[in-house]
Amino acid sequence: AAVEAGWTSVVKVIIDLARQGKASLNVVCHEWNPKGIGGAGLRGNYTALDTARIYHREEIQDVLRSAGARFARDCPMTQRENPFHIRARQDRGEYTDSGWERKDREDRYSDFTFVDWGEEVQMDEEMQLAVNEVKKELREMQELPKA
């Protein structure tokens, strides 16, 4: 979404997370239909770099390329089952045990900040910088002349 909207500062924060090993710039996404990947009005395989190209975000393409981002065609393909098929089986009552089991922990939300509307959010310096950059970009977008 940040790439589509042209929010370079958000993309840079995500790149920083990728450098820390907390994110990946080369996740291959798919838009599905009941018959498979892609189709009329749907995108097949794409990454953040593909999205930047599609939306003509040249500055973001440059930033992503310099960070090592790749196009989907250059990434290894992962095997995924069509989510429409999974849902159809579930609707029939056929559940596959994936081996995953939710484990609630006391510290489950320790990395989250919850506030009520109107309260001041406490942020570390890095998050405050990212928020300020996004605000700046939003103000600049509002100042653009309407076509």
81-133 tens-digit pLDDT: 888 888 888 888 887 666 566 666 666 666 666 667 667 777 778 888 888 88
Per DSSP, helices labelled H in the chain are 2-5, 8-19, 48-54, 58-66, 83-91, 125-143
User: CA dihedral in degrees (134, 16, 63, 147; nearest 10)?
Assistant: -20
How confident is the model at residue 112, as a pLDDT? 62
Spatial separation of the C-alpha atoms in residues 52 and 49, rounded to whole Å: 5
Enter the pTM of the model.
0.56
- Burial of 7 per CB tally in 10 Å (0-12, 13-18, 19+): buried
Higher pLDDT, 65 or 127: 65
Spatial separation of the C-alpha atoms in residues 111 and 125, rounded to whole Å: 15
Q: Indicate whether 63 pLDDT > 90.
A: yes
- Please list, in sequence order, all residues whose beta carbon lies within 8 angstroms of the beta carbon of residue 25, skipping any fewer than 6 positions away: 14, 15, 18, 47, 48, 49, 64, 67, 68, 69, 70
Q: Indicate whether 74 pLDDT > 90.
A: yes
2-52 tens-digit pLDDT: 787 778 888 898 899 888 888 888 888 888 888 888 877 778 888 999 999
Q: Indicate whether 64 pLDDT > 90.
A: yes
Q: Which two tokens stand for residue 39?
A: 């189709």
